Structure 1
């Protein structure tokens, strides 16, 4: 690994890795993306993360892991353009959205993709994800981004999930039009396109 170069260990198919790549793209930060497919654990990754999990980030002598920590670090390390609002209340609201995305949707995505779960459990998670996204779709009508006029870390957590809906077997109904419109706008943005791995491009 080159000295003084930002490196990101990333699974090219994993939505947690995708959110880190999306933040890097939103901030136009050049990083060395090291693909680590599921089930692999190179020695360099173990040096960065003793748990051998991705995503992980190496910035000079600093090694970081855990997706939320990585996003917060990148926001502070590269503050422009900002992906968190200036005011404490607004910043807290974005962090709360990130927490809800994790609990309400990412947990269901992980359940659907978990081969150790029964078909019934995976189908229940799939239906719950479909119903939850459909019910919240109207909130996307008022702003160009997720409850915001500008992209935030919440969008960076949500969009990798939404990109994977076809892979997950989730098809949103026409009544979810505000959410579908949000997806179309966000997926077309240059930063989002730049964040995609070759494997992710094949998901749609």
Structure 2
């Protein structure tokens, strides 16, 4: 994937859904960035210089230092509008923000428990399976989330489905639209490139 812009550093923990969605967005925006993996117990001095609160992920650019993933993602889409990853019209942008909030506050915590524990148990797997079945209609009929264009929602869901695969949590057979969507999103060039680069 070619790069045109540089001067970006993403400070992140090694396993972070929020950091992953930012990194994928940077790739989609054709932005070359350096990844600095942070041990929160022993943070690098350069991070402390720009973010004493140690809020991760943190994005440092030549222009500004930002943290909180939602703020970083909106900055990237507004500062680098091509390709657009949020709808242009305010009504659909509002709908996307609501969906993103639900993903971050409802989807991510279920998987973060698994990541923290290092394995999936029956309870966590069932909770995730129930969620995917409930939301299956949202993925019907499109390559990406409710359309054929990649969006910030897709960048946010890609890490979720990637880690499902890592922890061997299968998408339920009955969630046919979700299974197809997850295959599409995990085969996206930016997603493949990012996770291969992480090893």
Show the counterpart of 1:135.
134
Q: Separation in 1 of the partners of 2:74 and 2:67? A: 11
Q: Structure 1: give runs of 5+ residues left out of the alignment.
A: none
Show the counterpart of 1:86.
88
Show the counterpart of 1:74.
76
Superposition pairs of residues 58-137 of structure 1, within 5 angstroms: 58-115=60-117, 124-137=123-136
Is the contact made by 1:94 and 1:152 (CA closer than 8 Å) also made in structure 2? no
* 161-170 or 17-26, which deviates more: 161-170
Is the contact made by 1:112 and 1:123 (CA closer than 8 Å) also made in structure 2? no
Kindly state the Cα deviation for residue 82 of structure 1 after the two structures are TM-superposed: 0.2
1:22 paired with 2:21, answer: no
1:41-77 CA-to-partner distances (Å, cap 9, x unmatched) read 2112222322223211111152111111111111111
Q: Separation in 2 of the partners of 1:84 and 1:40? A: 36
TM-score normalized with structure 1 length: 0.84
Show the counterpart of 1:179.
178
Q: Structure 2: give runs of 5+ residues left out of the alignment.
A: 1-5
Work out the number of aligned pairs and report it. 194
Kindly state the Cα deviation for residue 114 of structure 1 after the two structures are TM-superposed: 3.3
Is the contact made by 1:84 and 1:94 (CA closer than 8 Å) also made in structure 2? yes
1:43 paired with 2:45, answer: yes
1:88-137 CA-to-partner distances (Å, cap 9, x unmatched) read 0011111111011012211212223334xxx99x7534321221012222
User: 1:188/1:173 Cα in 2 relative to 1: closer, same or farther (>3 Å)?
Assistant: same
Show the counterpart of 1:155.
154
Cα RMSD after superposing both structures: 2.4
TM-score normalized with structure 2 length: 0.86
Kindly state the Cα deviation for residue 155 of structure 1 after the two structures are TM-superposed: 1.0
1:144 paired with 2:143, answer: yes
Kindly state the Cα deviation for residue 169 of structure 1 after the two structures are TM-superposed: 4.4
